[in-house]
Amino acid sequence: MMYQEEVKQRFLDSGIVFTEKELSSIDYADFGLKRLESEGLNLIVYENNDRYCAKEMVLLPGQTCPEHRHPPREGDVGKRETFRCRKGKVYLYVEGEATPVIQSNIPEGQEAHYTVMHEVELNPGEQYTIEPNIKHWFQAGNEGAIISEFSSPSDDASDIFTNPEIQRVTK
């Protein structure tokens, strides 16, 4: 199955109802790395305005959103976001005491770009809030994951990634 078809099918199989417009607007973010299957993110943005943002994300099995943070910008403290696992399992890594043995596999050759190792395991119905300007990354478990994100306004272009090669907004 083609990558985009598989992602769309996972959204459809999630049990969440989407409009055709939402399904046709899926953002397949490869961060300019061209290795979408290992380091990528697939999302539908419901709303992103000057007060709040709501998104739905699909991660394929083992797919990783690279380490980044949401810095202060234009007098704002930065994006605060809550991840709620809807289906599958997601491993979230944030600043804090490192977990001795993590469950995720850092994408090969990218170890230098993954520096925070405090692991938070999210199963369906569990959620975690990431404060502004905190480094974090996340990876889906073996079955993939569906994650809802509720946050303050999102400005992808201002995100700071640990890997300097990453472009969140690709040209």
Q: Residue 6 corresponds to which amino acid?
A: E
Query: Which pLDDT score, from 0 to 100, does residue 7 have?
Result: 98
Query: Which pLDDT score, from 0 to 100, does residue 104 have?
Result: 98
pLDDT in tens, 22-72: 999 999 999 999 999 999 999 999 999 999 999 999 999 999 999 999 999
Residue 66, burial from CB neighbour count under 10 angstroms (0-12, 13-18, 19+): buried
What's the average model confidence in pLDDT over 120-147? Answer: 98
Q: Find tokens 């990634």 and name the residue.
A: 161
Question: Which residue spans within the chain are E strands per DSSP?
Answer: 27-29, 41-48, 53-59, 64-69, 81-94, 118-122, 127-130, 136-151, 160-161
Angle (CA) 101-128-36 rounded to 5° is 70
Percentage with pLDDT > 70 across the chain:
98
- CA 49, distance to chain mean position in Å, is 19
d(CA 121, CA 93): 9
Query: Which pLDDT score, from 0 to 100, does residue 156 have?
Result: 87
Angle (CA) 84-106-96 rounded to 5° is 60
Architecture of domain 3-161: Sandwich (2.60)
The residue ranking higher by pLDDT, 82 or 168, is 82
pTM of the model: 0.95
- Beta 81-94 vs 118-122: how paired, if at all? antiparallel
* First-residue to last-residue Cα distance in the chain: 26
Query: Which pLDDT score, from 0 to 100, does residue 170 have?
Result: 53
pLDDT in tens, 8-26: 999 999 999 999 999 999 9
What's the average model confidence in pLDDT over 96-109? Answer: 97
